[in-house]
Amino acid sequence: MTESDWLIRHEHGDGVVEIKLARAPVNALSSEFLMDFARTINEIREDPTVRALLLTSAFKVFSAGLDLKVARDFDLAGQRAAVRGLNEAFLALYACPKPVVAAVNGAAIAGGLFFVLCSDVRVAPGEIQVWSCRSASRS
């Protein structure tokens, strides 16, 4: 798959760009997916026409975390690639100077939660409970 298959970019106008996570079926994380995500975020970071970023998911699950079907066959090089992908993708998102909004429409499990944690603002439908470590209360 390519970046255009996994990450769908949509321009909403006025400098708002949506990146829809679309690695079927549950946005499970692979090193390739993560490196494509890091490249995309770094491109957005450098684009002067982009004022804000919206992260969404194409599926009922926002992200199911590491792709365990791939991970079970990791050798040392595969492990290193996965760690590098996690580091580069989520550091790029966390360090992005543009405001990032995560529209969380489903579960964000294990490593998939980092999309949410590295965003500046998180929104979710009422039935999804979001735990805030800062306030130690449900919001």
The pLDDT score that the predictor gives to residue 135 is: 41
pLDDT tens for the chain, residues 1 to 139: 444 589 999 999 999 999 999 999 999 999 999 999 999 999 999 999 999 999 999 999 999 999 999 999 999 999 999 999 999 999 999 999 999 999 999 999 999 999 999 999 999 887 655 544 444 443 4
Long-range pairs for 8-14 at CB < 8 Å and ≥24 separation?
8/58, 9/40, 12/54, 14/51
The whole-angstrom separation of Cα 11 and Cα 18 is 6
Asked whether the whole model's pTM tops 0.85, one would answer yes
The pLDDT score that the predictor gives to residue 5 is: 86
Which DSSP string corresponds to the chain? --HHHHEEEEEEETTEEEEEE--TTTT-B-HHHHHHHHHHHHHHHH-TT--EEEEEESSSSSB--B-HHHHTT--HHHHHHHHHHHHHHHHHHHH-SS-EEEE--S-B-GGGHHHHHTSSEEE--TTS--EETTTTEE-
Say if CB 24 and CB 69 are below 8 A apart: no
Domains in the chain: ranges and CATH: 3-138 (3.90.226.10)
Tell me whether the omega of the peptide bond preceding residue 25 falls within 30 degrees of 0, making it cis.
yes
The pLDDT score that the predictor gives to residue 99 is: 97
- Angle of the 31-46 helix axis to the 76-95 helix axis, nearest 10: 30
